[in-house]
Structure 1
Amino acid sequence: MIKKEPGTVFGRRLRAARLRADIPQDTLGVKIGLDEGTASARVSRYETGVHEPPFGIAVKLAAALRIPAAYFYCEDDELADVVLVWGRLTKSERKRIKPLITEELEKAKGAG
């Protein structure tokens, strides 16, 4: 069986996250509340870009995969990686890192 490559950023990110989590399409679909009989086909359609899920479903997919929903929508691969890392940080780690990011942004504004 030939697998169709994702045609959208959302589909590419969803497939990558699902494979990283080692969760089959049907299991992921059922986990977010899709009907068992159509779960695999629906997730496959999201991955290939045939359909893009409503944002509420994207949030459920992200929660099931334990990643930020924003990851699905990042066009830039490096930003997507940052979003994944940010999603794994604790609140205290985020609080400590945020001023460093803000400082770097201010420096970049001054240089640009």
Structure 2
Amino acid sequence: MPRRTDVRLVFQRRLKEARIRCHLSQKELGVQAGLDAFVASARINRYELGVHEPDMGTIARLASALSVPVAYLFADDDRLARMILAFEQLPAIEKDRLLRSMEPGE
């Protein structure tokens, strides 16, 4: 049976990777996600370390600040995470074409 991945660990890793890729400090990310500047750095640090878990609204704001879909932050397979990011960049017509080519029976 395949080993289950802890989604919390995936979120922590993806959050930090996306933040670093965007060249944002923990404080900058927190402020862009709507956190108070006084606590932004500590809160993001705690999210990345798994000390605290953000609620879904905060996760959505973090994803928006990082310009990634929420699904990216929870993708437990690196290839899937890359596909999510690549898919998000495509124009709608290309997304539809790609989906049709991947669906069974096509």
- TM-score under structure 2 normalisation? 0.86
Q: 1:36 matched to which residue of 2?
A: 37
Instruction: Give 1:76 shift.
Output: 1.2
SS of structure 2 residue aligned to 1:12: helix
Q: 1:81 matched to which residue of 2?
A: 82
The whole-number CA distance in structure 2 between the counterparts of 1:90 and 1:80 is 18
Instruction: Give 1:16 shift.
Output: 0.3
Instruction: Give 1:20 shift.
Output: 0.5
Instruction: Give 1:98 shift.
Output: 0.9
Matched letter for residue 28 of structure 1? L
Q: Which runs of 4+ in 1 moved over 4 A?
A: none
Identity value in percent: 43
Instruction: Give 1:22 shift.
Output: 0.5
The whole-number CA distance in structure 2 between the counterparts of 1:92 and 1:59 is 25
What CA RMSD, in Å, does the superposition of the two structures yield over aligned residues?
1.5
Gaps of 5+ in 1: 1-6, 108-112
Rg larger in structure: 1
